[in-house]
Amino acid sequence: MTATVGPGTARGALDAIRRHLSPQLALVYGMNGSGAIESSGRGTRLKLSDGRGALDFGSYAVTLLGQRHPAVVAAVRAELDAMPVSTRVLGNGTTAHFAAALAAYVDPERLTKVWLGLNGSDAVEAALKLARLATGRTRVIAVEGAYHGKSLGALAATWNARYRHSLEPLLGGVTHIAAHPSAIPGAFATGEVAAVLVEPVQGEGGVRPLDAGFLHALASAAHEHGAFVIVDEIQTGLRRCGPPLVSTDIGLRPDAVLLGKALGGGVCPVSAVVATERFYAPLAADPFVHTTTFSGHPLGAAAGTAALVAVEALAGRGQHLAALLTTGLAHLARRHPQLIADVRGRGLLWGIEFAHPAVAGDVLLELGRHGLLVSPCLGQPEVLRLLPPLVATDEEVEEALAVLDAVCAAVPDEFRHLAPAPP
């Protein structure tokens, strides 16, 4: 049965989503867009199918460079005219150049080996496999509240029971510990550990920056016990939180860093594992021990190389925007103490924790209707994420803060008396 309205229209697209993807997705998209769908984007701005515009401070951290960054688009167009898909039996210069650029960006002295994927779960899966192969061990330590993806291996390291319970048993041997130094000794006392896997700032878990002391203690214990340290910077890296990497900024010496989301410049799906020679040894010995058809595809490699340059060119801008957000969000929390339980974050990754998930849901819908797009947190539904791009102007940050303020001020009374969100 075919749709009665073409998929090029909002009604047709939502009908096709309902029929062929998910009725719930169609409902959510229809509510978020007030019946409209996204049409085009440039920089911080989106155009909707009904002619309205929206400020994109969400996109789940992918659009760190905004929509269609000119340098990234130009690099992808040039590669499209040259060779968009690799033969996979010959070397490709664009892919090789990207791998070299990544190693130079992350740590040219220690982390010199690169595996390329398409999304964060790809990188997590590759890293877990390499850690187990390189050590001959199977246990992995992750942190309560963590989010590392939903494929079966990555899901074992993800904390949220909502995505785990109906699929268990998952990959065996993953232990989640509290983000406190007192939890570390016991985690290593019951068997040999292959690796610890940790986000320096938990994104989906509610935008929770982990204490640097805890991270150092965890990394130190891992290395003392012969385990690897894998840092998931898929959301936090590439200056999303200020420095190129949060982990190296606080002095950690990881054995592998995972990158994704913004790595493709908001144009192509790209992820990476950047690792030491010891961590990468199983792939060096047998490059076919873990492969994917589109690993290192030239379009993504071209986008990634251009994105690294563009991100560094905007580093100063990011620091300035972060300062504006720090001040503005603190002021927002003071103005709405009954609604906002906490504001926390770093750089251009911020979470606003509301008093109840229902309040966050109401605010999310109203922000969209007022032309501001943000991202909810899957693991903490009472938290909304604010993820502005490096290309945002001062005026756009002020616009976003003003919309947040107006929407919070208009929250209906029935939401203002809900019980606080459970811990």
Interval 231-241: pLDDT, tens: 999 999 999 99
Closest among 313, 338, 144, 110 to 228, alpha carbons compared: 110
CA 212 to chain centroid, in Å, comes to 20
Residue 397 and residue 325 in contact, taking contact as beta carbons nearer than 8 Å:
yes
Closest among 341, 396, 346, 395 to 371, alpha carbons compared: 396
Taking each helix axis as running N to C, give the angle between helix 70-82 and helix 298-313, from 0 to 180 degrees, rounded to the nearest 10: 160
Cis? peptide before 169, omega within 30° of 0: yes
Give the span between the Cα atoms of 225 and 191, in whole angstroms. Answer: 10
Closest among 232, 340, 266, 299 to 82, alpha carbons compared: 299
Backbone angles phi, psi at 173, to 5 degrees: 90, 10
CA distances (Å), origin 280, targets 113, 134, 227, 275, 327:
7, 8, 14, 6, 42
Q: HEC profile for the chain?
A: CCCCCCCCCHHHHHHHHHHHCCHHHHHHHHHHCCCCCEEEEEECEEEECCCCEEEECCHHHCCCCCECCHHHHHHHHHHHHHCCCCCCCCCCHHHHHHHHHHHHHHCCCCCCEEEEECCHHHHHHHHHHHHHHHHCCCEEEEECCCCCCCCHHHHHHCCCHHHHHHHCCCCCCEEEECCCHHHHHHHCCCCCEEEEEECCEECCCCCEECCHHHHHHHHHHHHHCCCEEEEECCCCCCCCCCCCCHHHHCCCCCCEEEECHHHHCCCCCCEEEEECHHHHHHHHHCCCCCCCCCCCCHHHHHHHHHHHHHHHHCHHHHHHHHHHHHHHHHHHHHHCCCCEEEEEEECCEEEEEECCHHHHHHHHHHHHHCCEECEECCCCCCEEEECCCCCCCHHHHHHHHHHHHHHHHCCCHHHCCCCCCCC
- Taking the CB of residue 182, how many other CB atoms lie within 10 A of it? 10
What pLDDT shows up at residue 66? Answer: 98
What pLDDT shows up at residue 5? Answer: 52
Closest among 66, 73, 77 to 42, alpha carbons compared: 66
Give the span between the Cα atoms of 334 and 404, in whole angstroms. Answer: 13
| Structural domains in the chain plus CATH codes | 37-65+314-415 (3.90.1150.10), 70-313 (3.40.640.10)
Give the span between the Cα atoms of 16 and 94, in whole angstroms. Answer: 37
Give the span between the Cα atoms of 273 and 148, in whole angstroms. Answer: 13
CA distances (Å), origin 91, targets 296, 297, 367:
11, 11, 47
Backbone angles phi, psi at 399, to 5 degrees: -60, -45
- Taking the CB of residue 237, how many other CB atoms lie within 10 A of it? 31
How do beta strands 139-143 and 174-177 pair? Answer: parallel
- Taking the CB of residue 35, how many other CB atoms lie within 10 A of it? 14
Partnered with residue 346 across adjacent β-strands are 349
Look up residue 153 and give its two tokens: 């291996």
Give the span between the Cα atoms of 6 and 10, in whole angstroms. Answer: 9
Look up residue 283 and give its two tokens: 């792939």
Q: Going residue by residue through the chain (423 aa), what tens digit of pLDDT does each one get? A: 344 455 679 999 999 999 999 999 999 999 999 999 999 999 999 999 999 999 999 999 999 999 999 999 999 999 999 999 999 999 999 999 999 999 999 999 999 999 999 999 999 999 999 999 999 999 999 999 999 999 999 999 999 988 888 888 887 789 999 999 999 999 999 879 999 999 999 999 999 999 999 999 999 999 999 999 999 999 999 999 999 999 999 999 999 999 999 999 999 999 999 999 999 999 999 999 999 999 999 999 999 999 999 999 999 999 999 999 999 999 999 999 999 999 999 999 999 999 999 999 999 999 999 999 999 998 899 999 999 999 999 999 999 999 999 999 999 988 877 756 555
